[in-house]
Amino acid sequence: MKITITKDEHEFDRTAAWRIIAMMLQKPNAVIGLSTGQTTIGMHKIVSSIYSQFPFDVSRITIFNVDELTNLPREYSGSCYTMILNQLVRPLGIPDKNFIMPPTMSDDFNAECLLFEKQLAERGGADLQMLGIGGNGHIGINQPGTPFESETWVSPMDPDFEARVRRETQVPPETVLGGLTRGIKNIMQTRKIILIAKGIHKADIIEKAILGPVTVNIPASVVQLHPDCEILLDAAAASGLNGKIK
C-alpha cells in the first residue's frame, strides 16, 4: 500500500487528475471507475481542462461510477450519472456506449446490479477505481457492517445524506431511497485502487482506515489487503498519520 501526501488541496486535485489521465494514456481501452462528491469535483475539472488543451484519443475509454442513487430521476443534479456526464463524459467526448451506469429507476434492481457487472466484465473488468471514503468509512455506498464478500447491490443511504437528498428533491417519505453500489468484493477485484481524501474532516477516518484493523465496521479498511492500492491525501486529510508512517 503506497501513501501519497500532497501539500494542499490544489496539489491533491492536480495529482489525482493526472492519475486518471495516466491510465487513459497507458491503456487506450481502459475501464475507469470514478466517485462523485466534493472530493472529486476539482480533479475532474482539471482532467477536462488538460484534455481541452491537449486532446488525446478517448474513443475506447470506458467510464463508470462506483455507485448510483436509486428511486430518483436521473436528471436530478445530485445523481451520479448527471455529475459524471457533466464533469467528464461530455467535456472529454466519451462515446455514450462507453459510459456504463445503472439506471436510477427500475422495477428490478437485482437484475440491474447483474447487468452492470456483466457490462464491466465484458470490457475486461475495471482497471482503475478512484475511490472516495465517507466520514464513517463507507466506500461506494457500502455502509459500516457490509460484509467484505458483498457483491453489487442496493444499499441504504447514510441517514444524513438521505435527509439532504429528500430536502433537495422533495421525494415523499413513502419512496424508499438507496444506492446501487458495487459490492466490496467487486471493488477489490479492480486492478488498481486509488483511495482519495482531502480535508481535515477526513483525517480521523483515514487514520482508522489505514492504520487500524481491517474490519467491516470501517469498510475502507479493506483496501489494506489490495495488492495495488495507493492512498492519495492532501496534508489536512493526512494529519492523523503524522509520525505514524515511514
For residue 118, pLDDT beyond 90: yes
Q: Alpha helices, DSSP H only, in 78-129?
A: 80-84, 90-92, 109-122
Percent of the chain scoring above 90 in pLDDT: 88
For residue 246, what pLDDT band results from cuts at 50, 70 and 90?
Answer: low
Please tell me the pTM assigned to this model.
Answer: 0.96
Query: What is the residue whose three cell numbers read 486535485?
Result: 13
Residue 210 lies in a domain: yes
At residue 12, the pLDDT reads 98
Give dist(CA 206, CA 32) in Å, integer: 23
* Domain span at 148: 2-239
Q: Give one DSSP letter per residue of 222-233, joined into a string.
A: GGGG-SSEEEEE
| The three three-digit cell numbers of residue 83, written as one number | 455529475
Residue 246 lies in a domain: no
Residue 163 is part of a domain; what is its CATH number?
3.40.50.1360
Give how many domains the chain has, as a whole number. Answer: 1
Q: pLDDT by residue (tens digit) across 183-227?
A: 999 999 999 999 999 999 999 999 999 999 999 999 999 999 999
H or E element at residue 159 = helix 159-169
